[in-house]
Chains A and B, each alone.
Chain A
Amino acid sequence: NAGVMQNPRHLVRRRGQEARLRCSPMKGHSHVYWYRQLPEEGLKFMVYLQKENIIDESGMPKERFSAEFPKEGPSILRIQQVVRGDSAAYFCASSPPVGGIDEQYFGPGTRLTVT
């Protein structure tokens, strides 16, 4: 049973380009969460999605950031017109349909570097 998959593991973008981060949840999990970790800091919640629905996006910046979790395929975190401050590790987590505030299973993360 594969864990949470994220790709790419490392992504380098120049300022102004777009970054697309993908997350495939664990089999049977229908809840996906995105967190951002700046260097030397803890993880900060960004968005919580279920299939085809954004449940809570209160942690996501209002501009340039968007997230989706389509009926088919992985969840996508999209950052438009990246800036240096977007450089961080982005982690995806998933949980089964029941008990979202219980254990969340984390992926290995995508490390975004904006040059």
Chain B
Amino acid sequence: SQQGEEDPQALSIQEGENATMNCSYKTSINNLQWYRQNSGRGLVHLILIRSNEREKHSGRLRVTLDTSKKSSSLLITASRAADTASYFCATGRETSGSRLTFGEGTQLTVNP
């Protein structure tokens, strides 16, 4: 399996519910980032969490990082139909230079 795997692959919820997506990775990292991609569009940066941080908030987004388990979660609270998109985690490592390693993504559908 690859560095940065999201789970689940697809998630369908009702508007107003919370959505939780998980990301696991294999090697040590400097930071982990979450991106959103609407269908057929570019990537929008959501949040970055560094390896020495455990939790970060931004609006309705909450990201946690557990370096001992090599995993991260993205929580979107009070979801909206406009949150429908693919969500990707990406890891950055000093030993990989400046490249980001992306997971395969979670497709979130928020039904009105």
Assess the A107–B42 pair: CB atoms within 8 A: yes
Chain A's closest residue to B45 (CB) is A103
8 Å CB contact of B31 from A42, A59, A93, A102: A102
Instruction: Please tell me the size bucket of the interface on B.
Output: 20 to 34
Assess the A103–B33 pair: CB atoms within 8 A: yes
Chain A's closest residue to B105 (CB) is A42
Assess the B42–A104 pair: CB atoms within 8 A: no
Interface residues of B in 14-44 (CB under 8 A from A): 30-31, 33, 35, 40-44
Instruction: Please tell me the size bucket of the interface on A.
Output: 20 to 34
The majority secondary structure among interface residues of chain A is strand
Assess the A106–B98 pair: CB atoms within 8 A: no
Report the minimal beta-carbon distance from B84 to chain A, rounded to whole angstroms. 16
Question: Assuming A41-B104, A42-B4, A106-B43, is B98 touching A100 (CB within 8 A)?
Answer: yes
A42 to B102, CA, bound (A): 6
Report the minimal beta-carbon distance from A2 to chain B, rounded to whole angstroms. 14
Interface residues of A (CB under 8 A from B): 31, 33, 35, 41-45, 48, 55-56, 59, 91, 93, 95, 100-109, 111
Known: A41-B105, A44-B102, A48-B98. 9 other contacts (CB 8 A): A42-B103, A42-B105, A43-B88, A43-B102, A45-B101, A48-B97, A56-B97, A108-B42, A109-B41
